């Protein structure tokens, strides 16, 4: 279907089902039950799942296919966000021109940075991208304040000179972002018994875009261009010796992946029209690396999984505080309860970053292929048990 083989079609359909039904899937617990805090089906978080999914898919096109580890990808996300907010300020509150501009701007930036950085490979490439990203971050904080509004971050205000549209609505408030009149924040709530499912317009826009770019990334992975990038990853020297100039290919991958990041930034700003410099900091770049590695670099679905996983834990894990822990272990004897709470507490709530770090180290050490490889190992193990010791064959094939 659509020029994909059977496996890829299944995967795309799976992702489509997951994203479209996310309000149900992420809301398995009734609203008034004690487990309701594990529900992730609220618009804000669901939007972030898919947006960072897009970001990670884009990063994976560069890192997963070519092996070039960029440590400055958040710069493109930031550029995207700023462009989108400026579009809202100057042109219209419609998200389409904003997203288009953010993709284009990020593409231009990626072209410039990539042209310089890709002259080197390996760790030098990482450090060059890191240097460029830190430069953008520092500039956004200091000299470029007229454009970026420095530490406060760029926001909409009541006197924005909007060409197509009004500066203020009739009741004197800032207009909201929309898609031809459909407000991004409008949410339809469906109450079924004790459950409340929320369907948000912004989320579905992001999800549709995610599906589109996921399809695009499948096509890139399976194209001759993708094959060329994989060849660069496995042995660039040999490619050069055959008389082939690899740089246009890697540059193209870099720009595409930068545009994905710009798209993610534009969507972030479309959902919530503000942009701050901290989106460009190198820890933000580290986060997308984490997502991709955790999910499985070089696999198609890995980055999406990784992004969802990290964003879920960031929001849900970090909400668990001491009293919640006490209520969980409340059934146990007092001494044991306190012991368990003190043992678990450093890893949840404010300390969830620690869990993330540990998990990350474990994944890099034991599962370099990320969650996808973990899943494959488990399925292979189950099959080998069923088949009575036959040699396991993996089902989905990582790109490497």
Partner 1 sequence: MAGLGAQSAPGPFTQQPDLVDRYGTIIPRPPDTHKDKTTNPKVGAMDAILLQILNGLDKGSAYALIALGLTLIFGTLGVVNFAHGALFMIGAFCAVTLQRLLNLSFETVDETQTDFLGNALKVKTPYVEAWFGPQMGGAIIDWAVPLAILFAIPIMVFVGYAMERGLIKHFYKRPHADQILVTFGLAIVLQEVIKYFYGANPIQTPAPEALSGIVNLGAIVGMDIVYPVWRVVYFLFSLLVIGGIFSFLQFTTFGMVVRAGMADRETVGLLGINIDKRFTVMFGIAAAVAGLAGVMYTPINSPNYHMGMDFLVLSFVVVVVGGMGSLPGAVLAGFLLGILESFASMNEIKSIIPGIDQIIIYVVAIIILLTRPRGLMGRKGVMED
Kindly list the residues in this chain that would bind partner 1 in the complex (CB under 8 A). 67, 69, 71, 116, 119-124, 126-128, 130-132, 134-135, 138-139, 141-144, 282-283, 286, 289-290, 293, 346, 351, 353-354, 356-358, 360-361, 364-365, 368
Question: Tokens 């060329």 sit at which residue?
Answer: 228
Of 165 and 374, the one with the shorter C-beta distance to partner 1 is 374
Q: Residue 400 Cβ, how far from partner 1 at the closest point, in Å?
A: 12
Cα 247 to Cα 62, 109, 114, 239, 335, distances in angstroms: 13, 17, 10, 11, 63
Please write down the long-range contacts of 2-11, taking CB distance under 8 Å and 24 or more positions apart: 2/215, 3/219, 4/218, 4/219, 4/222, 5/222, 7/395, 7/396, 7/397, 8/218, 8/222, 8/300, 11/218, 11/300, 11/301, 11/396
Q: Provide the H-helix boundaries in the chain.
A: 6-20, 22-25, 43-66, 74-90, 95-117, 122-141, 145-148, 201-222, 224-234, 236-241, 247-271, 282-295, 302-316, 322-328, 334-344, 352-366, 370-386
Cα 38 to Cα 41, 199, 285, 343, 383, distances in angstroms: 9, 18, 27, 21, 32
Q: Residue 267 Cβ, how far from partner 1 at the closest point, in Å?
A: 26
Of 97 and 351, the one with the shorter C-beta distance to partner 1 is 351
Of 13 and 143, the one with the shorter C-beta distance to partner 1 is 143
CA dist 8 and 100 (Å) reads: 28
Of 143 and 158, the one with the shorter C-beta distance to partner 1 is 143
Of 55 and 71, the one with the shorter C-beta distance to partner 1 is 71
Beta-bridge partner residues of 189:
198
Phi-psi region of 166 (alpha: psi -120 to 50; beta: other; left: phi over 0): beta
Q: Residue 390 Cβ, how far from partner 1 at the closest point, in Å?
A: 31
Q: Residue 90 Cβ, how far from partner 1 at the closest point, in Å?
A: 24
Of 104 and 139, the one with the shorter C-beta distance to partner 1 is 139
Q: Residue 307 Cβ, how far from partner 1 at the closest point, in Å?
A: 17
Q: Residue 217 Cβ, how far from partner 1 at the closest point, in Å?
A: 20
Residue 223: phi and psi, rounded to 5, are: -85, 165
Q: Residue 240 Cβ, how far from partner 1 at the closest point, in Å?
A: 11
Of 69 and 184, the one with the shorter C-beta distance to partner 1 is 69
Of 13 and 116, the one with the shorter C-beta distance to partner 1 is 116
Angle at 270 between CA 185 and CA 11, to 5 degrees: 90
CA dist 314 and 208 (Å) reads: 24
Q: Residue 274 Cβ, how far from partner 1 at the closest point, in Å?
A: 23
Q: Residue 367 Cβ, how far from partner 1 at the closest point, in Å?
A: 12
Q: Residue 357 Cβ, how far from partner 1 at the closest point, in Å?
A: 3
Of 115 and 188, the one with the shorter C-beta distance to partner 1 is 115
Contacts of 212 (CB under 8 A, 6+ apart): none
Q: First vs last Cα of the chain: how many Å apart?
A: 24
Of 1 and 123, the one with the shorter C-beta distance to partner 1 is 123
Helix axes of 282-295 and 122-141: crossing angle, nearest 10 degrees: 140
């Amino acid at each position: 279907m659509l020029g994909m083989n059977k496996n890829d079609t299944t995967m795309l359909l799976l992702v489509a089902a997951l994203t479209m039904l996310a309000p149900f899937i992420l809301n398995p617990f009734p609203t008034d039950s004690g487990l309701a805090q594990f529900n992730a089906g609220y618009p804000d978080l669901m939007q972030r799942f898919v947006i960072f999914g897009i970001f990670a898919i884009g990063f994976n096109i560069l890192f997963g296919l070519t092996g070039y580890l960029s440590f400055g990808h958040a710069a493109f996300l930031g550029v995207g966000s700023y462009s989108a907010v400026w579009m809202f300020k100057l042109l219209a509150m419609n998200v389409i021109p904003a997203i288009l501009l953010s993709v284009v701007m990020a593409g231009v930036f990626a072209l410039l940075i990539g042209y310089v950085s890709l002259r080197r490979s390996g760790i030098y490439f990482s450090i060059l991208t890191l240097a460029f990203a830190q430069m953008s971050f520092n500039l956004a904080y200091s000299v470029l304040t007229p454009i970026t509004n420095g530490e406060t971050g760029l926001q909409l205000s009541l006197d924005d000179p909007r060409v197509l549209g009004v500066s203020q609505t009739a009741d004197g408030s800032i207009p909201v972002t929309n898609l031809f009149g459909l407000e991004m924040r409008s949410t339809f709530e469906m109450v079924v018994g004790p459950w409340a499912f929320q369907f948000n317009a912004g989320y579905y826009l992001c999800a549709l875009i995610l599906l589109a770019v996921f399809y695009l990334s499948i096509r890139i992975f399976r194209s001759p261009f993708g094959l060329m990038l994989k060849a660069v990853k496995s042995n660039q020297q040999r490619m050069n010796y055959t008389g082939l100039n690899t740089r246009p290919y890697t540059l193209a991958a870099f720009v595409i992946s930068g545009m994905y990041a710009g798209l993610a930034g534009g969507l972030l700003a479309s959902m919530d029209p503000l942009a701050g410099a901290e989106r460009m900091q190198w820890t933000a770049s580290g986060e997308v690396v984490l997502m991709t590695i955790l999910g499985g670099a070089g696999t198609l679905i890995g980055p999406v999984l990784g992004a969802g996983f990290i964003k879920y834990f960031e929001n849900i894990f970090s909400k668990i505080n001491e009293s919640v822990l006490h209520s969980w272990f409340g059934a146990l004897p007092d001494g044991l309860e306190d012991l368990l709470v003190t043992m678990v507490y450093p890893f949840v709530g404010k300390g969830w970053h620690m869990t993330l770090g540990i998990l990350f180290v474990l994944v890099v050490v034991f599962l370099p292929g990320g969650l996808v490889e973990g899943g494959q190992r488990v399925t292979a193990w189950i099959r080998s048990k069923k088949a009575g010791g036959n040699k396991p064959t993996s089902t989905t094939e990582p790109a490497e």
